[in-house]
């Protein structure tokens, strides 16, 4: 039996380093029923794909709890989640305050009494107890659970480093003869053990604060979600919870209020601020029939709207889900870092053991062995390595969403940074996408005689049933149809009726043109659409076609265009019956201002730009020349575009395809990176890896530049993480002690904290990325 795989994003409590995330991920992936799992230390979340028939979230929570972590599986509001996270941060802060309060006097005693007597050493022992067993208790408890499961994380490194210094000091204090000491001087390291925990806690506090700033973008989106709405019931206004709204409910939105949910305006008009949704700073004028998006703001006016989508189906909910999924995904470079992190902690523990063995057996110095071992354990930092990539991904993808660009996964932004070829669709991508009829050319009269069949009593019409999404056959009396009583019909009405059934941009332009003429709309006897080519409708027993030149020729109607028509450089909708062309409808589409800048930017960077369109040669050529594009393809079907991309890829090209997300779906899927000009379309969010929400091509340039910046930040972070460990670990091991270069455990703990904070802070620079 096929079951539906469920995907959830769940907060993970208790993770402190990349190794923690790796081990939680490993436990989840090994669990029965889990298809895949990605755990991010940067936002403390797990993305899990699982089969609910085989397992459940309670079972997964129990598995993770066995190694010391907790999955927050309860469905709670963001505010409650924030309170829980704040509570965790508050616990961490309290532990830090206690650690600082007792570590400061320890440090003073250590500085002023270099050679400790028993009394001083005993006081230091007492001062260290609250730090070790309260402030640092979670390190030891988690490490104990993890060792049982053969799992090793930063908790193990800190526990071993602190524990070795503390136990050594304990033996020196109470049983000095065991280590050959005479009891006259007590060289204890209670202050080192306490200060290590204090500095690690300080680093974690600062790191958590910085990570939260990197995650602000998702929280900002969530704050856009309304909690209440004003429902119109029998002309009365009733305030209800947003989750109680149903499709087709009538909602009132007043001046200055937030639009609570997705819908269509049925009364009123207003300027609407959609900047937080699509990054467009200029308010958009909305009138009756226009769609509005939940989370946008009614700047003026009084609106009545009909609810179209609720819950997880709203645009804002989908945007939040896309951003969260992207932030929890991993690019290839992160997978390499994870592999290194997975063996890093065991390798450091082994190295620390070798360092101790060297100093004890070869150097005959037990004390130096203990200190060097503890220093190696504390200074080694898997955190910086684990945070290097995810913090940059989270900050970068969050910033992209603020700019009106949705990046669906981390691999997409990585692929975008590597492109060398960009293919543009024309209509709706390079052009405004709202062509207008510029001229009509009719080859015979617009009115033709239709002899009615008096024997015809019923007419069967195949039409779409909007309730169940299927087709149904409906019978009408001939008298019920809009057939002129004088036995003649207006061909424009047939053209208008036929084009009104198509979703193609050119068809919409023709429909809008004829709506102004107040023509009658006639129901066809049958209707068929040929994606990327044209449409067919049957009216009064006769077939009529509208589509491209090639489509009309493919049905056997032969014709040629005069040079005069070709030179117009316009898009053509050819209207014909089964025998001849009846009319040519000429349409023009304005090039976007942002297209000129975007194409020029790409050409200046040495990226090849190609125009691939289904339009005729003259229109495509004129558009290409206007934008400075040398390579263009015309009369391209969706399959042609996909094959063009494949041929480029076969020649080693890395291709980005930018289209409207509907007709270009095969090409978007075939490209290394598919980029959809969403314009609020749900389908665009599903058909491409990247969606530009307001159709502005400067946003595409922003996303490309941002992908390069993310890549640069990740490389800087990884370099620092590797460089830090490469330099610090040999010094901690005592390799340069002969040159006077040493490192004690306290300085090692500070250095480890600084390394993590520096990586997160560097990633945070992406939040200040400037628009193009």
- Report strand pairing: 405-407 vs 690-692: antiparallel
The backbone region for 680, taken as left when phi is positive above 0, alpha when psi lies in -120 to 50, beta otherwise, is: left
Identify whether 425 is a catalytic site residue. Answer: yes
Nearest alpha-carbon partner for 762 in 211, 201, 16: 211
Nearest alpha-carbon partner for 408 in 331, 335, 334, 327: 327
Annotated catalytic residue, options 155, 249, 425, 696: 425
Structure tokens at 183: 């009891």
Q: Quick one: CA torsion of 675, 680, 683, 685, rounded to 10 degrees?
A: 50
User: Tokens 């250095």 label which residue?
Assistant: 751
Give the count of beta carbons closer than 10 Å to the beta carbon of residue 181.
Answer: 16
Q: Determine the Cα–Cα distance for residues 298 and 263; give it in Å rounded to an integer.
A: 13
Structure tokens at 94: 């309290």
- Report strand pairing: 542-547 vs 571-577: antiparallel
Q: Which residues pair with 527 in a beta bridge?
A: 537
Q: Determine the Cα–Cα distance for residues 490 and 450; give it in Å rounded to an integer.
A: 10
Nearest alpha-carbon partner for 508 in 516, 499, 517: 499
Question: 459 phi and psi, to 5 degrees?
Answer: -125, 125
Q: Which residues pair with 656 in a beta bridge?
A: 422, 673
With beta carbons less than 8 A apart as the criterion, state whether 722 and 356 touch.
no
Nearest alpha-carbon partner for 406 in 315, 283, 334: 315
SS3 591: strand
The alpha carbons of the chain give a radius of gyration, in whole angstroms, of 34
Provide CB contacts within 8 A for 694, sequence distance 6+: 274, 278, 279, 280, 404, 678, 679
Give the count of beta carbons closer than 10 Å to the beta carbon of residue 454.
Answer: 7
Q: Determine the Cα–Cα distance for residues 227 and 232; give it in Å rounded to an integer.
A: 17
With beta carbons less than 8 A apart as the criterion, state whether 62 and 88 touch.
no
User: In sequence order, what DSSP letters do the residues of 127-159 get, joined into one string?
Assistant: HHHHIIIIITHHHHHHHHHHHHTT---HHHHHH
Residues serving a catalytic function are 425
């Amino acid at each position: 039996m096929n079951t539906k795989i469920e995907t959830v994003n769940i907060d993970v409590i208790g993770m402190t380093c990349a190794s923690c995330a790796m081990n939680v991920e490993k436990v989840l992936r090994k669990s029965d029923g889990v298809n895949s799992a990605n755990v991010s230390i940067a936002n403390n979340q797990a993305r899990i794909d699982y089969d609910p028939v085989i397992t459940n979230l309670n079972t997964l929570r129990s598995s993770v709890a066995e190694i010391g972590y907790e999955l927050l599986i309860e469905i709670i509001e963001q505010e409650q989640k924030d309170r829980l996270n704040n509570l965790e941060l508050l616990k961490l802060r309290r532990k830090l305050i206690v650690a600082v309060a007792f570590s400061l006097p320890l440090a003073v005693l250590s500085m002023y009494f270099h050679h400790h007597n028993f009394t001083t050493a005993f006081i230091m022992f007492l001062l260290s107890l609250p730090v070790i067993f309260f402030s640092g208790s979670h390190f030891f408890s988690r490490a104990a659970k993890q060792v049982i499961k053969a799992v090793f994380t930063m908790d193990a490194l800190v526990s071993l480093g602190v524990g070795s210094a503390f136990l050594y000091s304990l033996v020196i204090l109470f049983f000095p003869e065991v280590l050959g000491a005479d009891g006259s001087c007590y060289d204890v390291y209670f202050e080192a053990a306490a200060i290590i925990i204090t500095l690690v806690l300080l680093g974690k506090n600062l790191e958590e604060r910085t990570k939260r700033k990197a995650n602000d973008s998702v929280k900002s989106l969530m704050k856009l979600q309304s909690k209440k709405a004003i429902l119109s019931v029998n002309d009365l206004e009733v305030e209800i919870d947003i989750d109680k709204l149903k499709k087709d409910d009538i909602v009132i939105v007043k001046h200055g209020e937030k639009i609570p949910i997705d819908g269509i305006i049925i009364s009123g008009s207003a300027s609407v601020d959609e900047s937080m949704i699509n990054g467009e700073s200029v308010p958009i004028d909305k009138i009756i029939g226009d769609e509005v998006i939940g989370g946008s703001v009614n700047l003026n006016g009084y609106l009545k709207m009909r609810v179209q989508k609720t819950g997880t189906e709203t645009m804002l909910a989908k945007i939040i889900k896309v951003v969260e999924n992207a932030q929890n995904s991993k690019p290839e470079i992160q997978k390499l870092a994870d592999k290194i992190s997975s063996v890093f902690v065991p390798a450091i523990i082994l190295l620390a053991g070798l360092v101790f063995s060297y100093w004890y057996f070869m150097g005959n110095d037990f004390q130096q062995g203990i200190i060097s071992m503890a220093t190696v354990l504390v200074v080694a930092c898997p955190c910086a390595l684990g945070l290097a990539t995810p913090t940059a991904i989270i900050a970068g993808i969050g910033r992209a969403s603020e700019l009106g660009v949705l990046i669906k996964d981390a691999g997409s932004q990585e692929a975008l940074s590597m492109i060398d070829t960009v293919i543009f669709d024309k209509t709706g991508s390079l052009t405004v996408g709202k062509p207008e009829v510029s001229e009509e050319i009719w080859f015979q009269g617009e009115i033709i005689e239709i002899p009615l069949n008096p024997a015809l009593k019923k007419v069967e019409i195949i039409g779409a049933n909007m309730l169940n999404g299927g087709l149904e056959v409906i019978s009408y009396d001939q008298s019920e149809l809009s057939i002129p009583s004088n036995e003649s019909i207006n061909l424009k009405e047939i053209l208008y009726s036929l084009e009104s059934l198509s979703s193609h941009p050119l068809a919409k332009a023709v429909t809008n043109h004829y709506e102004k003429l107040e023509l009658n709309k006639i129901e066809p006897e049958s209707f068929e659409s040929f994606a990327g080519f044209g449409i067919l409708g049957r009216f009064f027993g006769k077939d009529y076609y509208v589509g491209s030149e090639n489509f009309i020729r493919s049905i056997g109607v032969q014709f040629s265009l005069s040079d005069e028509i070709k030179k117009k450089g316009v898009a053509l909708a050819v209207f014909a019956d089964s025998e001849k062309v009846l009319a040519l409808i000429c349409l023009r589409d304005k090039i976007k201002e942002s297209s000129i800048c975007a194409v020029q930017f790409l050409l200046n960077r040495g990226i090849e730009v190609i125009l691939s369109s289904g339009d005729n040669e003259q229109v495509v050529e004129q558009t290409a020349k206007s934008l400075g594009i040398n390579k263009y393809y015309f009369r391209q079907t969706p399959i042609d575009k996909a094959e063009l991309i494949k041929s480029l890829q076969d020649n080693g090209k890395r291709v980005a395809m930018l289209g409207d997300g509907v007709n270009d779906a095969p090409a978007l899927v075939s490209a290394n990176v598919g980029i959809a000009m969403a314009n609020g379309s749900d389908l665009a969010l599903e058909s491409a890896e990247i969606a530009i929400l307001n159709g502005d091509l400067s946003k595409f340039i922003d996303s490309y530049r941002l992908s390069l910046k993310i890549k640069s930040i990740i490389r800087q972070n990884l370099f620092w993480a590797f460089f830090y460990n490469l330099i610090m670990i040999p010094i901690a091991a005592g390799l340069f002690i002969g040159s006077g270069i040493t490192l004690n455990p306290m300085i090692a703990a500070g250095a480890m904290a600084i390394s993590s904070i520096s990586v997160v802070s560097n990633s945070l620079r992406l939040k200040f990325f400037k628009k193009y």
